[in-house]
Structure 1
Amino acid sequence: MNLNAKRLLEINTVLLLTFICVFSLLLPAYAENETEAQVNNGTLTLSMDEVVRLTIRNNSNVATKYLQRVTEKFDLEKAEAKFEPVINIDGSFNAEAFQRNMRISDNGTQTPASKWDAGAKASITQKIPTGGTLSFVWDNNYSENSDGTLSYDGDSAVSRSKTYTREASSKWRIELTQPLLKGAGIDYNMASIRLARITDKRNILSLRDNLSQLINSGLNYYFTFKQAKENLEIQQQALERSERLLEVNQFKQSMGRMSASDVVQAEADVASGRLSLEEARNSLDKARRDLLNHLEMDPNLEIEPIDDEIRDVEPDYEQCMQVALKNNQTYMDKVFAVTESNINAMMAENEREWQLDLKGGYEETQTQKNSYSASTSDDELSAGVELSAPINLWGDDQLERKKKLLTAEVNKRKAKLELKRAKTNLQTEVANAVRDVRMRWKMIRLAQKNTELKALQLENENTKLMVGRTTNFEVVSYQNQLVQAQLAETSKQISYVQALLILDQLLGTTMETWHVEFKHNDKQLEEDLNNKIRPLVWTWW
């Protein structure tokens, strides 16, 4: 096998990566070969696609994020239920029985007595977007009492009697309260829901970003493993060259054409190569275990990576910025902060006003005492206004009032400045990332050319050594230079694919790049948790 064929074989074993952005205008599509990870005889065959899918499927941090998402989604549901009716039913029951002993002079009696009462109350409260509250209350009560008494009527007359009372009442009331100043208005009353929705959007972006970071971590572990594997192969090839050189030198020494001192250089190079080979094996085993730990798989598995074709990606800055301004989490967080500060400022201005409420209501009560008495009925219609007008001229209350307004205005301006700064930072980061991708591709080509030249230099030096036109030291030096060139080429490959990952993370398109469906929540997990707690929600004993 000639040198060019050997070199081609070495290049084909270098770490390869395919990268695209979700937007086809930015990056070329990468091969969509969705192969499933297979384990044969304790060896796990892995591609980049499978690293991504195994990360999403196996890594427990993914499950943790989706568990947290269940409570976050419920917080939004709770906030959006603000204008849904609140219905409560309260019931009460009390029963007592006792024996009463009574005595007057020498007369006495034992009388059983009892009392019991029951009540049921239903209430419906409905908040409306204008700030008003509509409420309905229906209160029902029933009680019975039985008792015995002794009374002294004269010189010796003592009478015994039993009493029995019963009372039932039913009352219902409907009432409307509508603020006219403080607490009034659709904007003010919808503010809490708008803030909750913004928080939920921020949580969704955070979930997407966390999943993207897990994917990138898995890919980086994979790249580190492939780099360690390539490094091991390079060190093995270097050791083989050193051993062949040592054999040649020992043969020349036996023929009297080389001194023993010259052979020492080759022997030292072999010893150094064996040390480097052991270090490479240790690094490979560590990288293998780190990758399997991230994938949460059997740490004793061996890994066989699949080589992929590398491609030149030339992202366009303007198009990248358009994507980043819509997807970048850090920038979107500042956009949300501006909206939140405007809402909070509006609420602070509303809450400084006096409390002026318009009230109206109707109430009806029906009562019946004992079976022989007639029932009574009362009704009441009411309407009016209620004003609470604190006038804080000086002191803590006035300063606190001023502080709230001042803080709200400061936060508004601060949020706008931070948004402007965030956009500038994003422009710089995207520009650097785009330039870095282009530059590292050029460095790959330069590193490949350097490796080819170093290999050619070594071949020429070996030819010179055979005819005695160079020293053993020079050959060993060129061997070391070739090893360093090969390692540098592998490092440039890793740097290139990492630059692509960084750009993808900035654009917020990692999930789309790897064709991973981004779910805002895990519906099956949510259903399982709700089924678990549902019996506890609807039972009270």
Structure 2
Amino acid sequence: MTKSRLTGIIFILSLGMTIPYVHADDLIPIERVPIPIFKPQISPAAAQSSQGSLSRNNVPATSQATTNENQQVEMTVADVVFLSIRNNRTIKSSYINRISQKFDLRVAEDRFTPQFSIDGSLSRQRIAGVHTNLYDISPGVNMITPLGTTFDFAWNVSGSSSDNYNTLDNNIDMSISQPLLRGAGVTVNMAPVNVARLQEKINKLHLKTTVSETIGQAILAHRDLLQAQEELRLANEAVIRGQETLQQNRSLIAAGRMAEVDAVQTEADLENQKLRVLQAQQTIEDRRLNLLDILNLDLSTPLVAKEEFKLKKIPIDLRKLFDTALLNREDYQSQLYVIDQNKLNVKVAENQQLWDISLFAQGTYGTQKQTDLPDTRTRNGKVGIQLSIPLNDLTIKQQLVQADTTTRTSELQLDIIKSGIERQIRTSATEVKIYWQQAKTAQTSLDLARRALEVEKTKLNAGRSSTFEVRSMEQNLRDAETQLVNARINYLNALTRLDLQLGTTLETWQVSLND
């Protein structure tokens, strides 16, 4: 690690940390991990950055300004990945939403837990000059079992007291009901819980996609900044070459071997290159601000993209890529869960078509006490069967038709998603191959352009060429340099996009979600 990069990372970490979201320990592993496209090596600075989080609002203005004036913050792609996980607002918002989503699942799984309650009242009334105190308290519990059995229990205590007369009623009410057709069975009663569990899996996939897309966005923004920096470097080198050419022309003019007017166009080209430098500086500033905004860092941070152009040819196996995408793509896996949810809804709707036949039992047991009267005991019970047969209620049939239609539509949507995934994978794989060839060709073109310019300058010194030919070779060199930078960036970006489309971004960057 270079001294400037280490200083930059220390400056970033000095901005302060607030909410840690990703940790190396205590993580939930990601299911169905495929073989990623490539495995980048996580830099020590990235690992150091991953142990904290950043805040753009925790730095005093004075110290912040001093730091910005004296140093730059160098960041590789790996550093940007970890900082985006820490700081990005979209990821933070997704984790906040997960609080509500997890509680929704908890509520659904609480379906078969006994529900306790206490009702009560206390009052004082005056009728015909007689003051009476009234009280009533009723603890109770009700529950439903996975078989559909419902149980209700209530203990009712009520009474009144006045100067000469007191009453007390103490009763226990119990009831139990077991459906035989509609509402009976584990499948129907567990359906709401299973639907909620499937939804939780979908929510986790959504979170994974949000983090992956944010990482991809940060990587592409980093490469945009890197590309702008390379354009500035090339522009500066072009200015240096232009100055050397102009100096060479002036030497030839002084020797009487070139007319002074022939150097005018060289001076014009030099000014154009200086203008290109200014334009590149503006582009760098725009892209730097964009990257800082994604990372949610202070916009005055003097960020510099740092990465070596080490391209590696990636073997493309379309069948393997397609299978990997089906195992990891959020849209495809989520749609499978949606189909499972819809099938459960169909089973529930089919069950609703049945007659409502239930066995039931009810009982009331208690005592009543009154002043100057003997206690009265209550022992009431009832057992029977309850029947309800809808004859022409089309709304019941409507539920089944809607559930079946929704299921068939979701299955068609799965085919559409699958077809779209294959098309995207084929397009991305073709891009990777083409950009790799472009990078190789651009490198060869650059080598030839450099040699051609050197030859043309030598010929100019010998009086066998003209400034027009030299300027033409110089323009060819600038074009070749730009094409090589663009080809390399395009190739790396194509790999990043392919990684996103495969759904393997988190595995590639060795990130697990603390969810």
Normalised by the length of structure 2, the TM-score is 0.86
Report the Cα offset of residue 47 of structure 1: 1.5
**1:69 pairs with 2:98:** yes
The structure 1 segments of at least 4 consecutive aligned residues displaced by more than 4 Å after TM superposition are 22-26, 36-40
Task: Please name the residue that 1:307 is paired with.
Answer: 307
Q: What's the % identity of the aligned pairs? A: 28
Task: Please name the residue that 1:106 is paired with.
Answer: none
**1:418 pairs with 2:413:** yes
Task: Please name the residue that 2:13 is paired with.
Answer: none
Deviations 1:250-288 (Å, cap 9, x if unpaired)?
Answer: 222233222233111101101111111110010011111
Task: Please name the residue that 2:353 is paired with.
Answer: 352
Task: Please name the residue that 1:120 is paired with.
Answer: 137
C-alpha change, 1:30 and 1:457, in structure 2 (3 Å) is: same
Return 5+ residue gaps in structure 2 as ranges.
1-31, 50-66
Counterpart mapping for 1:399-414 below 5 A = 400-414=395-409
Letter in 1 for 2:313: D
Q: How many residues align?
A: 464
C-alpha change, 1:338 and 1:24, in structure 2 (3 Å) is: closer
Partner Cα distance (2:120, 2:44) in 1? 61
Partner Cα distance (1:294, 1:220) in 2? 11
Deviations 1:46-97 (Å, cap 9, x if unpaired)?
Answer: 1211101111111222211101000001001101111111111122111357
**1:274 pairs with 2:274:** yes
Task: Please name the residue that 1:528 is paired with.
Answer: none
Letter in 1 for 2:513: F
**1:35 pairs with 2:45:** yes
Deviations 1:208-241 (Å, cap 9, x if unpaired)?
Answer: 1011111111111111111111100000001111
Letter in 2 for 1:339: D
Report the 3-state secondary structure (helix = DSSP H, G, I; strand = E; otherwise coil) of the residue aligned with 1:114: strand
Counterpart mapping for 1:132-143 below 5 A = 132-143=149-160
Task: Please name the residue that 1:19 is paired with.
Answer: none
C-alpha change, 1:288 and 1:255, in structure 2 (3 Å) is: same
Q: Is the 8 A contact 2:40 2:509 kept in 1?
A: no
Task: Please name the residue that 1:321 is paired with.
Answer: 322
Corresponding residue to 2:492 among 497, 507, 519? 497
Task: Please name the residue that 1:192 is paired with.
Answer: 192
RMSD between superposed Cα atoms in Å? 2.1
Partner Cα distance (1:445, 1:84) in 2? 66
**1:203 pairs with 2:203:** yes
Partner Cα distance (1:133, 1:472) in 2? 97
Partner Cα distance (1:29, 1:64) in 2? 28
**1:60 pairs with 2:77:** no
Corresponding residue to 2:455 among 441, 460, 478? 460
Report the 3-state secondary structure (helix = DSSP H, G, I; strand = E; otherwise coil) of the residue aligned with 2:311: coil
Letter in 1 for 2:425: V
Q: Is the 8 A contact 1:228 1:280 kept in 2?
A: yes
Letter in 2 for 1:74: F
Report the Cα offset of residue 434 of structure 1: 2.6
**1:285 pairs with 2:285:** yes
Counterpart mapping for 1:3-402 below 5 A = 25-36=35-46, 41-96=70-125, 113-146=130-163, 164-308=164-308, 309-370=310-371, 372-392=372-392, 397-398=393-394, 400-402=395-397
Corresponding residue to 2:514 among 514, 519, 532? 519
Return 5+ residue gaps in structure 1 as ranges.
1-21, 101-110, 147-163, 521-541
Partner Cα distance (1:199, 1:509) in 2? 22
Q: Is the 8 A contact 1:26 1:315 kept in 2?
A: no
Greater share of strand = 1
Partner Cα distance (1:31, 1:310) in 2? 14
Report the 3-state secondary structure (helix = DSSP H, G, I; strand = E; otherwise coil) of the residue aligned with 2:514: coil
Q: Which moved more, 1:423-432 or 1:215-224?
A: 423-432
Q: Is the 8 A contact 2:169 2:369 kept in 1?
A: yes
Q: Is the 8 A contact 2:325 2:502 kept in 1?
A: yes
Q: Is the 8 A contact 1:26 1:316 kept in 2?
A: no
Report the 3-state secondary structure (helix = DSSP H, G, I; strand = E; otherwise coil) of the residue aligned with 2:363: strand
Normalised by the length of structure 1, the TM-score is 0.82
Report the 3-state secondary structure (helix = DSSP H, G, I; strand = E; otherwise coil) of the residue aligned with 1:374: strand
Letter in 1 for 2:150: T
Task: Please name the residue that 2:11 is paired with.
Answer: none
Q: Is the 8 A contact 1:182 1:354 kept in 2?
A: yes
Report the 3-state secondary structure (helix = DSSP H, G, I; strand = E; otherwise coil) of the residue aligned with 1:391: coil
Partner Cα distance (1:290, 1:423) in 2? 34
Report the 3-state secondary structure (helix = DSSP H, G, I; strand = E; otherwise coil) of the residue aligned with 1:87: strand
